[in-house]
Amino acid sequence: MVNVGIISRGLGGLKEYVYRGLQQLPIVLASTSLIYTIATGSVAHMNIFVGMTFVIPFVTWILQTIIEFVSNRLLPGSILLKRSGGDTCDLIPPLTPPDRKDYERFFSSVATKEKKYEGFIPSFWLMELAFFIGYAVSNGVDSLLAPQEQGSSDVNYEKRNTHAMIVVFTTSLFALIVLSMRFVFMGPCEGTGPWGYVISILCAIGAGGIGYGMYTFSKYCGARCSDLFGILSQILPQSSTTPHPIVCKEG
């Protein structure tokens, strides 16, 4: 007979794994893009890394500063524009975590409840994920709408369209699942109520717009250089994919 305690500990470990994976998702996406940038010289992945590491954190900091100023001046003492902080919400845990006896996850301890709303919307997590989604969806939609190049294969053109539709669908589904989990299980990290959520979502839409803008800007380097998923490489003309003879010289 299976021990109930073992099952409980296993489910608890799985829950912890899922929560921590969700919490650190922007860091995983940015670091993976850095690896691809170094390994392949991909302009698209470099844009993702630069955007998620420098551009979006700076924009988020500006928004938080403005919202904090507005909250302190117009809504003193209100938590309308605040969000929860702490180890559960922060992308990077504090260097000096609280004592074990005063620390329990998901805002359950007295010490954590007293400083439950210690930050201002929007969160770095939401803004960075929205930026990634905006870039990825822009890539898929733009690749889907790109005209067929002269001399390219009709089969490859259809494959390109199918690939682009799969990218748009899977990215949208990924965004829906991840954002739903975030707002359902870690909702206080994004606001204190409906109005906080609405403002956070509006800011996230802006971050997605920045992702679209960076994708558009990167196209000046060439469409294929900004292609994150390699979709456009499937519509090269036949002459670009035919191997050329190699001539070896003596001496």
**Position of tokens 């494959």?**
159
Task: Count Cβ atoms below 10 Å from residue 42 Cβ, excluding itself.
Answer: 19
pLDDT at 147: 79
Kindly list the distances between the CA atom of residue 1 and the CA atoms of 4, 6, 12, in Å, as whole numbers in the listed order: 9, 11, 20
With respect to residue 178, please indicate whether it lies within any of the assigned structural domains.
Answer: yes
| 14-60 pLDDT, tens digit each | 777 777 888 889 999 999 999 988 988 888 888 999 999 999 999 99
With respect to residue 4, please indicate whether it lies within any of the assigned structural domains.
Answer: no
Give the residues across from 119 on adjacent strands.
83
pTM of the model: 0.81
With respect to residue 129, please indicate whether it lies within any of the assigned structural domains.
Answer: yes
| 205-231 pLDDT, tens digit each | 999 999 999 988 877 765 455 567 766
Q: Is the pLDDT of residue 242 over 70?
A: no
With respect to residue 101, please indicate whether it lies within any of the assigned structural domains.
Answer: no
Number of structural domains in the chain: 1
Contacts of 144 (CB under 8 A, 6+ apart): 161, 164, 165, 168
Query: What span, in angstroms and rounded, lies between the C-alpha atoms of 91 and 69?
Result: 23
With respect to residue 249, please indicate whether it lies within any of the assigned structural domains.
Answer: no
Kindly list the distances between the CA atom of residue 86 and the CA atoms of 90, 113, 118, in Å, as whole numbers in the listed order: 6, 10, 8
Higher-confidence residue: 120 or 160? 120
pLDDT at 156: 77
With respect to residue 187, please indicate whether it lies within any of the assigned structural domains.
Answer: yes
Supply the range of the domain harboring residue 80. Answer: 10-93+111-234
% of residues, the chain, pLDDT over 70: 75
With respect to residue 55, please indicate whether it lies within any of the assigned structural domains.
Answer: yes
Query: What span, in angstroms and rounded, lies between the C-alpha atoms of 201 and 231?
Result: 29
